[in-house]
Amino acid sequence: MFRPPLAYVSWARWSACCWSTRLGPCRPTAKLRRSRSRLLRRFRKGNRGAARDHFLQESRWEQNWGGAYDDYEPLISFARDRHIPVLALNPPRALVRRVASQGLALALADPEMNRWGMRDEPRSDEPAYHEIILKQLRLCHAGLSDDAYQRMYEASVFRDEGMAKTITDYLRRTQDQAGAPAGPIVSYTGGGHIQYQLPVPNRVLRKRAVPVSHATIYLAAYEPGRAEEIRELIRDSIADYVWLTPLGAHGFPRRCG
């Protein structure tokens, strides 16, 4: 049976990707802030009792993320119970916001960029990625100036490069003498970060000197009246697999960058 080294999978409202070159324990990664990785490690080793509330308080969940922790808790609890490492993928939120408000060129002067290893990180700007992300930004944030859309686009590039860097750094640290990375790794992110392989998957492949197999799984809410939209996703190869889920309480999600 084929087991990809790296897997990107959509989970609930999210998407994910899985990578690996050999069999081994699965390392989940989640779209959490990298500055909280140490806290994730402590949470994984702590006792279960009041750990949840303590984790939410120490991580400043509402300030740093703001999404429903219930979407992540099953994954983190699964890793905790099985002593599986969990990595936080996102660059610090303050840096992402700085790029969105000032533009990438000015934001790179922030000393924190150097601390997080992002100042000199190579960045790619594929034409297909540029077209898709800008189109989605304009659809979901109508009425802004061209400069504002450009800064938001640069923030999207910055986040995707940061996520890819976290994955490739981990693969590099854990590779064996032959250069094969440990795996599989399962990366859980929003669907926009894996669409058409462009945002994170292609960046991981570009950063890797050693080839690595991967597969992407895109979760899509399904209702009979929108079946044609699902067919379009499949025709356009939005991912290696499209996984249909029931429509959630918030209704049909918009596809934003």
Peptide bond preceding 127 in cis form (omega within 30 of 0): no
Closest CA to 124 of 100, 154, 96, 146: 154
Distance in angstroms (rounded) separating the CA atoms of residues 136 and 107? 23
The pLDDT tens digits of the residues spanning 98-144 come to 999 999 999 999 998 998 888 888 888 899 999 999 999 999 999 99
The pLDDT tens digits of the residues spanning 184-235 come to 888 888 899 999 999 999 999 998 877 788 899 999 988 888 899 999 999 9
In the DSSP assignment, the letter for residue 91 is P
98, 107 in Cβ contact below 8 A?
A: yes
Mean pLDDT of the 34-61 span: 67
Helix (H) or strand (E) holding 69: none
Distance in angstroms (rounded) separating the CA atoms of residues 84 and 234? 33
- Compute the Cα dihedral for 214, 220, 224, 228 and give only its sign: negative
Residue type, 238: I
- Comparison of pLDDT for 12 and 222, the residue scoring more: 222
Distance in angstroms (rounded) separating the CA atoms of residues 105 and 11? 34
Query: What's the chain's average pLDDT?
Result: 80
Mean pLDDT of the 10-21 span: 49
The three-state secondary structure class of 66 is coil
- The DSSP-derived string for 21-63 is SS----EEEEEEEGGGHHHHHHHHHS-STTHHHHHHHHTTHHH
Of the listed ranges 17-31, 120-134, 171-185, the least confidently predicted one is 17-31
Burial 189-206 (b: 16+ CB within 10 A, else e): bbbbbbbbbbbbbbbbbe
- Give the E-state strand segments of the chain in sequence order: 6-10, 14-19, 27-33, 87-90, 185-190, 214-222, 241-246
Tokens 């000199």 -> residue: 120
pLDDT-derived band at 83, boundaries 50, 70, 90: confident
Token pair for 30:
């989640």
Give me the residues paired with residue 188 across strands.
Answer: 9, 30
Residue type, 4: P
**Distance from the Cα of residue 115 to its chain's centroid:** 21
32, 72 in Cβ contact below 8 A?
A: yes
